[in-house]
A and B are shown apart, each in its own frame.
Chain A
Amino acid sequence: RKEVEQDPGPFNVPEGATVAFNCTYSNSASQSFFWYRQDCRKEPKLLMSVYSSGNEDGRFTAQLNRASQYISLLIRDSKLSDSATYLCVVNKGGANNLFFGTGTRLTVIP
């Protein structure tokens, strides 16, 4: 089983829609969680960390469910500029235990 699994999509949504992605992780000892955004032919960039209590940054909300071992990303009022691949990243702790999902591709349609 992969350390981190994501639905690859693509998710095609109209502007203004709300869209949610889930990501599951296999190791219950995982310590920290992130969502990254990767634009086409660009490097991944940190979008937000995911805290146990859930956190929100503008139109973006991230949540962690430790019992079911998944994290989620909710995007409200989608913009064309939100079109990208969203990578789920899990840190199991220690210096070299960072695992990347293969990403979920989002396209926001005018």
Chain B
Amino acid sequence: GAGVSQSPSNKVTEKGKDVELRCDPISGHTALYWYRQRLGQGLEFLIYFQGNSAPDKSGLPSDRFSAERTGESVSTLTIQRTQQEDSAVYLCASPPPEGLHSGQYFGPGTRLTVT
């Protein structure tokens, strides 16, 4: 596709359940970022992938959060034992190959609601 896609667009889950969010980056964009945006708040960095290098996980808020990416393809963000404070929009983004100085392209996000 032409842009970053994410699925599902909306997810409602019960507290304590696990959820898996998916991001399909733009073809040819080797870097991929996950962010979280709580209602009325700014973007929080979660994790960064660059090609086959070890990911930068420094933004993950707890060990309940994990993410995977195989090569330069799809990434999945998994949240285990969800809590109400996990409710947010989870955004995936990738910069073009020339790098961050050209900006970021965001997917439409997954809106997660934990009840």
Which A residues have a C-beta under 8 Å from some C-beta of B? 31-32, 34, 36, 41-46, 49, 87, 89, 91, 95-98, 100-103
Structural contact, B104 and A95, CB atoms closer than 8 A: no
Structural contact, A101 and B48, CB atoms closer than 8 A: no
Residues of B close to A31: CB separation below 8 A: 101
Structural contact, B103 and A95, CB atoms closer than 8 A: no
Residues of A close to B88: CB separation below 8 A: none
The size of the chain B interface, using a CB distance under 8 A, is: 22
> Which 4 A-B residue pairs are closest in the complex by CB-CB distance?
A102-B42, A43-B106, A46-B103, A100-B43
Residues of B close to A102: CB separation below 8 A: 41-42
> Told that A32-B101, A89-B104 touch, could you supply 14 new A-B pairs with CB distance under 8 A?
A36-B103, A44-B106, A46-B103, A46-B105, A49-B101, A87-B43, A95-B31, A95-B50, A96-B45, A97-B100, A98-B100, A100-B42, A100-B43, A102-B42
Query: A49, A89, A96: which contacts B48 (Cβ < 8 A)?
Result: A96
Q: Would you call B21 an interface residue if the criterion is a C-beta within 8 Å of the partner chain's C-beta atoms?
A: no
Q: A74 CB to closest chain B CB, in angstroms?
A: 20
- Can you list 25 A-B pairs, Cβ within 8 angstroms, ordered by A? A31-B101, A32-B101, A36-B103, A41-B111, A43-B91, A43-B108, A43-B109, A44-B106, A45-B106, A46-B103, A49-B101, A87-B43, A89-B103, A91-B100, A95-B31, A95-B56, A95-B100, A96-B48, A96-B56, A97-B100, A98-B100, A100-B35, A101-B42, A102-B42, A103-B42
Residues of B close to A45: CB separation below 8 A: 106
Q: A37 CB to closest chain B CB, in angstroms?
A: 11
